[in-house]
Amino acid sequence: MVQYIIIGVIIVSGIMLITLSTFFSKKNRILRELKKVRRKAIHSVRNREYVKIVGKAKHAGNPLIAPLSKRKCVYYDIIVKEKRGKHWKNIINDVQFQDFFIQAGTESAVIHLSDRRTEEKRIHLVADHKFRSGFLKNANEDVEHYLNEYGKNSTGLFGLNRTIHYTERVIEIDEEIAVMGIGKWTTIDTPIDGYSDSRVLALTGTKEQKLLITDEPKAMERIQRKL
C-alpha cells in the first residue's frame, strides 16, 4: 500500500512539474502578456504607453545573414548541441542582433534592442531551421566553417562524425512579428536609413515592463472585443 502511495506521489509531482515548467516558459509568459491587450496603430500610441504592435520586421542598413540558413534577418539565435553518451551538451550559443523597424501598414516604429539589458527584454522565436549531422550524414562546407569559427568540428576520433544537433531561430526580413514595449516619440535631425520621417516612435522596455518580441503565430491573433 505504501509503495502505491509513493508511486502516486511521484507521478503527481512529475505532472505538476511539467505543468509549471510549461506555464512559466518564456513562450507562454510572452503570449499571456500579449493576449492582455489589443494591437494598436502606431500613430495612436501615446508617449510612455505600454503597447502591442503587430507588423513586419524591416532592417535599417545592412541586414544580418543567418549563418546556417543564409536568411537575411535582424536577429538570429543559434544553439548547437553535441551528443556525449546519453546526454546532449551545448557547444555553441550564438545570438546576434541589430536595431530594426516594425512596419504596420504604412507606419513604422524602431526597436532599440542594443540599448536594452537582458532583464529588460524577453524574446521567443520559433525554431524553424533544425537539422543534424552524424552517422551517415556529413556536415556541409558552410556548417563546418561555422563550427571552425568556434574552435569546433563535426568529426572526432579517426574522422568519425560526431552526433550534432543544430537549431536556428531568426527574425527574418519581412517576417510578421508581435512586439510589446514602451512607446517613446522622438524627433530626429538626420533621417535614419530606411526611415524618412523626422518624428519616430521607438519601442523600449524596462525591468518591470519588458520589451517583448515573438514570431509565434498565436501572438498575431486579434483579440475580440468584449460585448
The number of CA neighbours under 13 Å toward the Cβ of 159 is 0
Of 29 and 151, more confident: 151
**Which of 61-75, 171-185, 189-203 is predicted least confidently?**
189-203
Give pLDDT, residue 28.
85
Residue identified by cell 548541441 is 81
Determine what percent of the chain is predicted with pLDDT higher than 70: 82
pLDDT(17) > 80: no
Q: What is the pLDDT of residues 131-161, one digit of tens each?
A: 999 999 999 999 999 999 999 999 988 889 9
Separation between Cα atoms, residue 73 and residue 39, nearest integer Å: 23
Ordered by start, the domain boundaries in the chain are: 2-220
Helix (H, G, I), strand (E, B) or coil at 114: coil
The gap from C-alpha 72 to its chain's centroid, in whole angstroms, comes to 15
Separation between Cα atoms, residue 138 and residue 131, nearest integer Å: 11
How do 72-84 and 164-172 pair as beta strands? Answer: antiparallel
Give pLDDT, residue 148.
97
Q: Which helix (H) or strand (E) element contains residue 40?
A: none
